Structure 1
Amino acid sequence: MKMRNSSSIAIKFLMLVTLANICVSQDFDFFYFVQQWPGSSCDTQQGCCFPQTGRPAFNFTIHGLWPNFNNGSYPSNCKSVENSFDESKISDIIPRAEISWPSLSCPSKKKNSTNSDNMKLWKHEWGKHGTCSYSVLDQHAYFDFTLNLKDHIDLLQILLNNGIKPDGEMYSVEKIREAIKEGTGFEGGIRCNTDASGNSQLNEIVLCVDKSAASESFIECPILPDANCPDDVEFPIFYESPLIDTA
């Protein structure tokens, strides 16, 4: 009886290990590359906080690189011991990430700080999304590749070239989509949030990237994220810039 019970326990253990490995190595179909406009993140009821490195540059910033499935669902938190977040693995690209991938989230009231925490954001993005791309990108490659995507397409300049400026005015979502298509060659997803007064504003722009993570591997989105925008949205001011003529 004891031997039979031991065998049963061993089989169950092997099944659990196999299932755990399947979860960790779960495949995906493509990436969402998500950039956000800091002015929209800050112009909400919650507001925003800047990191100790100071106010982010006058540009779109990275929200994340997210593995997705063609049916609209996505894997998350595919953690294991080997792919747990390690700050030392990205030490050489932290200066780039501080510019292009800053945190705007305010710390909890328990913390004696008014600054956001970049490392906390990066740890979250790697833990929730990056770990699910581990078969393609290890931790360093995940952050480096995402930063390279940001460098390759300048969304703000694309919009400015089409007369769409962060000046607090209203713009047609369709015109924004057309500008992205013209400037990148691909259709982009538009995501909105609301300001403190309840007005809809341009918050995020989503482009799709091939799962191979090859250089400059933007693709047409198999499925675009849910649109939550009205026909016209505000493009809020982040701060005054010589690039923008608000007259």
Structure 2
Amino acid sequence: MKSKFSILFKLLILQHLSVLCFSQEFDFFYFVQQWPGAYCDTKHSCCYPKTGKPAADFGIHGLWPNYKDGSWPSNCDPDSVFDKSQISDLIRSMEKDWPSLSCPSSNGLRFWSHEWEKHGTCSESELDHREYFETALKLKQKVNLLKVLKDAGIEPDDGFYSLESIKNAIKEGTGFAPGIECNKDSGHNNQLYQVYLCVDTSGSQLIECPLLPRSRCGDGDIQFPKF
């Protein structure tokens, strides 16, 4: 009897720890948008989705739970797999605002599945499967980066702009300082690639970033490439 009780108790402890692991807390989200012109203008190139070339606009890369110390959780629940049926009415919006540019050309499901399983499962203490994708789409509508930059005279015209002017324009337009990530094209020009903004754990409000990612933008002006 004692042995059976001991085994049962251990199983309950393991189950409790498992639930804690899968619903672990986090401090904030990075909401990350990427510029397709910079994604495609590298030695790796890109492949348009099966739905065709996306609009010349920033696309969602992901909504990523993070900790204030610079670390982040990932792949928190291996049993929670991507389920297209839960977001079937969001697919059209996701094809428009969250397109995959990786090769080979795809319908986006592989990309979205990766984002859910790596990042979304770590937000389940706040957002369920459907809410995770719906929240990212709502943030995209709230944060129109292309309009914000164009209003400041910063156009995707292959021109070069200072990193500070880009940061200032986004802060002016959104109210919050962004993190900017650059990549390099085949000519080794630094390009505007990704914009990070921080969001509270509910996914509803932009907040000041507790920590910003490294820019990798160098010291000179950066290019805003055409798409």
TM-score normalised per structure 1: 0.86
Counterpart of 2:120 (choices 111, 127, 130) is 130
CA deviation string 1:27-84 (max 9, x = no partner): 0011100000000000011100011110011100000000111111111111153x32
Of the three residues 212, 215, 218, the one matched with 1:224 is 212
Larger Rg: 1
One-letter code aligned to 1:234: Q
Does 1:71 find its partner at 2:69? Answer: yes
* Paired letter, 1:213: G
Matched, 1:183 2:173: yes
| Contact 1:173–1:230 under 8 Å retained in 2 | no
Identity across aligned pairs (percent)?
Answer: 55
The answer to whether structure 1 residue 24 and structure 2 residue 13 are counterparts is no
- Give the aligned residue type for 2:225: P
Conserved 8 A contact 2:78-2:117: no
Is 1:234 matched with 2:226? no
Q: List alignment gaps of at least 5 residues for structure 1.
A: 108-114, 239-247
* Alignment-mate amino acid for residue 235 of structure 1: F
| 5+ residue gaps, structure 2 | none
Deviation at 1:24, TM superposition (A): 0.3
C-alpha distance in 2, partners of 1:158/1:123?
A: 30
Q: Which runs of 4+ in 1 moved over 4 A?
A: 3-12
Match for residue 209 of structure 1?
A: 199
Residues 119-167 of structure 1, C-alpha deviation per residue, up to 9 Å, x if partnerless? 1001000101111111211111111111011011210111111111111
Deviation of 1:13 (Å): 3.6
State yes or no: 1:140 paired with 2:140. Answer: no
| Cα distance in 2 for residues equivalent to 1:95 and 1:170 | 34
Q: Partner letter of residue 98 of structure 1? A: E
Correspondence for 1:91 among 88, 102, 113: 88
- TM-score by length of structure 2 reads 0.94
Q: Is the 8 A contact 2:127 2:202 kept in 1?
A: no
In structure 2, what residue type is equivalent to 1:38?
Answer: P
The answer as to 2:146 corresponding to 1:156 is yes
In the TM superposition, what is the alpha-carbon distance from 1:116 to its structure 2 partner? Answer: 2.9
1:165 counterpart residue number: 155
